Amino acid sequence: MQIGTLYGIGVGPGDPELIPLKGLRRLQTAPVVAFPAGMGGKPGIAQQIIAEWLSPQQVQLALNFPYVQDESVLKQAWQEAAEKVWQYLQQGLDVVFASEGDASFYSTFTYLSQTIRELHPEVEVQIVPGICSPLAAAAAIGIPLTYRAQRLAVLPALYAIEELEMALDWADVVVLLKVSSVYEQVWGVLKQRGLLESSWVVERVTQSQQVIYNNLSDRPHLNLSYFSLAIVQVPNSKNNKAAVGNISPL
Ligand SMILES: C[S@@+](CC[C@H](N)C(=O)[O-])C[C@H]1O[C@@H](n2cnc3c(N)ncnc32)[C@H](O)[C@@H]1O
């Protein structure tokens, strides 16, 4: 019997209308739909985004991906998730995995697909891209994320403040993911460099609870959710100084 295909679908940052058409088609026609399990018994974010597009006939598969650093715990969770998915693939059923944002951009889908490939190399894996959070945040603020020759740095998580310093020395625009746990330290660096007025924090972009914080000068403390990111424009960088004219928020 032919085995099923595993699809990784980027379902966008929150607004269910931001699921790309191709991903939506896959989502609605798949017999099995998987997604990261939520915490504390609540539905996870990807599950919330896709809920209105699913039908009762589809199998819904919540997969556990613990938020820990311990490699052995993580590996075991990925293997368990991969085996759960394999149960359906081996019956010839396609499985669609819904990934918040894009499925290739710091997504749990990467671990799932890698583990499936290791355990069952015969499985075909396909990715349908989605809108990732920095792009949605730039649109919500009303700025181009980058233009002309601007260099973009994305820091997925800040484990040392020197990494931010290096990024600000090199890039014209810096995106900081997972900024919630390090916001105060980030604020200190931005203040020192005079960048608070050209920085934004966007929380839960495109979701009903979306908040945009602009001009961070009087916001040394913010109580942010995990789903928050910062965009920092560096007006004095080499490229930005050379740019003709300024592009300000819409
Ligand atoms: C593990 S990464 C996942 C990125 C996701 N795959 C994407 O394409 O945007 C998680 C981080 O992305 C950012 N993020 C994801 N969704 C977001 C949203 N809706 N609003 C703001 N930030 C978000 C946050 O910084 C969060 O800590």
The verdict on residue 199 lying in a domain is: yes
103 lines ligand 1 (CB under 6 A): no
Residue 17 sits in the same domain as residue 122: yes
- Number of structural domains the chain divides into: 2
pLDDT at 248: 62
Residue 68's pLDDT band, with cuts at 50, 70 and 90, is confident
pLDDT digits (tens, 9 = 90+) for 97-113: 999 999 999 999 999 99
Domain boundary at 66, 98, 128, which? 128
The verdict on residue 68 lying in a domain is: yes
212 lines ligand 1 (CB under 6 A): no
Of 93, 102, 103, give the one whose Cα is nearest residue 123. Answer: 93
Residue 244 has pLDDT above 60, yes or no: no
Measured in Å, residue 101 CA sits from the centre of ligand 1 at 7
pTM: 0.94
Measured in Å, residue 237 CA sits from the centre of ligand 1 at 26
Q: Whose CA is nearest to atom 17 of ligand 1?
A: 227
Among 69-78, 85-94, 133-142, which stretch is predicted with the lowest mean pLDDT? 69-78
Domain boundary at 128, 162, 187, which? 128
Domain boundary at 108, 128, 148, which? 128
The verdict on residue 250 lying in a domain is: no
Q: Which domain holds residue 148?
A: 133-242
Of 44, 38, 45, 16, give the one whose Cα is nearest residue 28. Answer: 16
Measured in Å, residue 46 CA sits from the centre of ligand 1 at 11
Of 170, 176, 191, give the one whose Cα is nearest residue 239. Answer: 170
113 lines ligand 1 (CB under 6 A): no
How far apart are alpha carbons 32 and 225 in whole angstroms?
30
Residue 243 has pLDDT above 70, yes or no: no
Considering only residues 96 and 161, tell me which one the structure prediction assigns the higher pLDDT. 96
Residue 119 sits in the same domain as residue 152: no
Read off φ and ψ for residue 92, nearest 5 degrees: 90, 10
Ligand 1 atom nearest the C-alpha of 103 is 6
Residue 121 sits in the same domain as residue 12: yes
The verdict on residue 205 lying in a domain is: yes
